Structure 1
Amino acid sequence: MMKHSQHTASTETLNAPTQAGAFKPITLLGSKTTRGWCYQILLALVLVGFCGWLYHNVVENLQTQRITTGFGFLQQSAQFAIGETLIDYTPRDTYARAVLVGLLNTLYVTACGIILATVLGFIVGLGRVSKNWLLVKLAEGYVELLRNVPVILQVIFWSVTIRNLPSPRGAIELAGLGFLTNRGLTFAVPEAHPGWQWTLWALLAGIVLSVALSMLARRQRERGGRLWPGARLRVALIVGLPLVVWWLCGAPHGIDRPTLRGFNFRGGFTISPEFTALLLGIALYSSAFIAEIVRAGVQSVPKGQLEAARSLSFSPWHVIRHVIIPQAMRVIVPPLASQYVSLAKNSSIAVVVGYPELANISNTLMNQTGQALEAIAIMMVVYLIISITTSLLMNIFNRYVAIKER
């Protein structure tokens, strides 16, 4: 009995605080959170110190070689011509404007490449899951051929192929709509008229309004379960609104057709061989990966969903439109964003074919001014902004197409 009392007393003594109102001391570094913050601050200081040392070393070496630093050269006259421009440019303009021309050309070929790669990728991807044996094998061959050949070789292949086409005097005629030569693709376009510009703006406005209407209809469907028959209204906005604007502007219908004069075509619109080779190379390469992404998204849809749609007598088009695509998009969109970013960065391959995009013009700028560090910094920042913007837009779209579970 005495031993039990002593054991109890000793246990209570160990569990009790040493003094009334006293607490065990807690060291500053004993907290896991505090140690984590200390490690992060230490790592940040090391990185800042390393960057400072690197910058000081670079500036000192440049001064030793008598190479000036800074971005003041951008205000100097470029003194070189650019073959393809989306804005007015002359050799008397500044380097800053030359860089802007290269940036716009990069955005132009990137946008065209994304559209072409997406269309081809979805078509081939749906062909991969078709029940037609021949279509499946053709789509499989397309994917395996294009995604296993380096993109730079594909760009060079298309460049060489186009350069070996006939000259303008022996041009390949495309059913009276245009001509294909070693100087590019020349085709007929509407004659210049202000009405076409207003029609284009009306088309863009119709697309924006149609998207907004579709989002509103989806929100109402998710909240109250009410279906809005907005398909005809969306078609009217995209098709009818531009037609009305075109008619109000005088219904311009003149066509500017290319004609052979001398050693080249005059009139129409010409897509240069450099742009065509770059566009085909990066778009076809990316479309092969997009096709596999689409195939994986379609195959992720449970078979029970397809059987239920067929039991309700849905046509194949309605099954794809209302059952497969909405559920597959949540699987397709995240990797699709990565392909768009890769396509934008692959546009820098234009250097090998001579298309004047940002990397090509920056190389010319470096050769003329010697400002290599600044030119590379400009390219890095521009491509970073393009990639971040593309990812941000695709993330917004991903939140829109995601299936929300309540």
Structure 2
Amino acid sequence: MQQNTAELVPLSGYQKLVIFILAMTQFTVVLDFMVMSPMGDILMKSMGLTTSQFGIAVSSYAFSAGLSGLLAAGYADRFDRKKIFLFFYTGFIAGTFLCGMAGSYPMLIAARIITGLFGGVIGSISMAIITDIFVLQQRGRVMGFVQMGFGASQVLGIPVGLFLANSWGWHSAFLWIAGMAVIILVLVSWKLKPINKHLALQHDHSAFRHLWNTFSKRQYRIGFGTTALLSIGGFMMMPFGSAFAINNQGVTEHQLPLLFMISGISALLIMPFIGKLSDKKDKYTIFATATVGMMLIVLVYTNLGVIPFWLVVLINILMMAGILGRMTPSTALITAVPEMQDRGAFMSINASLQQLAGGIAAAVAGMIVVQKTKTSPLEHYNFVGYVVAAISLLAIWMMFRLSNMIKQRTFKRTRPDLANPEM
């Protein structure tokens, strides 16, 4: 069976370039979605939105992303991954620009839907590219660095976005993101090589049949279910994070960018360490340990009232460590589930279910959380924390099944003489 420790497989110069390119695209896509949460208090006050309306604004992106993922899944393995990546990233840029031009709540919802239709597929294509270019023994480090876009969006993106929103209105944050994405689009077009080896392995002539054959495989469905559970936990708490910090914990609007920046710096420091650890140790053990730690922090965090700012920062750092500690190994494990000829479809369906589950979670959280006035504390946020903790327990069990399945399959491939006694 797979050992708990292993020698690190070195990365080539081109592989490092691919990591940088994917990390930069991840930065813009994550920032486009993440910036909605810290601007939540600004949007709700400036546009007069209720918590339910804001929950819909967040979930509209997720629902449209989920729909586009399902529609694209049947075609994801039928094209050069570079070409399909450029197509959807271009659409994402257009949608983000429209968000910056939205003048009303209905227009904002429409723009978020367009952004989600294109942006929601980019992550799945990136995962397929990573799986094609990097072996499993490299993917922990790759995920650690690529997902540094998450931390970078908080260190640089969110504070700058909040500064722009406070200075020139929330529209300017989206226009800034779209401008950065155009530069990255040129870089992807220029430097990324064609990725088309999977095309020679295609046997399904019908896109629908390829989609169905991918979804019908039991081991794939275990991966889909695990991803959906992980997504529900993240989406339930995130939309109201800034509003909870300001209205319940006593964080000021000027302290909020600093809070996100410190949390982001901690993410940048934690990510590479977790990624390297995931390639040397058992990925499931790291995931389960981090998830338990995150659950405890969440239960404390969601029941807090007004506390000193330094304590808010400390708790956010600990919660960030738990989130990232489970994100990196879980993503690396899930990329090991599909076969090469199914990777694009699997990742698209996986991303689609992730977004749909997250959209439902955000909408449900918007119905659970109540704010009586624009400045009153959020109510029932602690109940959201209890739900997240319960779902996290289920995720630990599902990831255990997934990890064992991958280990057994790897063992059969590397030692067929032992896996099949008749040989």
TM-score (norm 2): 0.28
Larger radius of gyration: 1
TM-score (norm 1): 0.29
Higher RCO structure, 1 or 2 (CA under 8 Å, sep 6+): 2
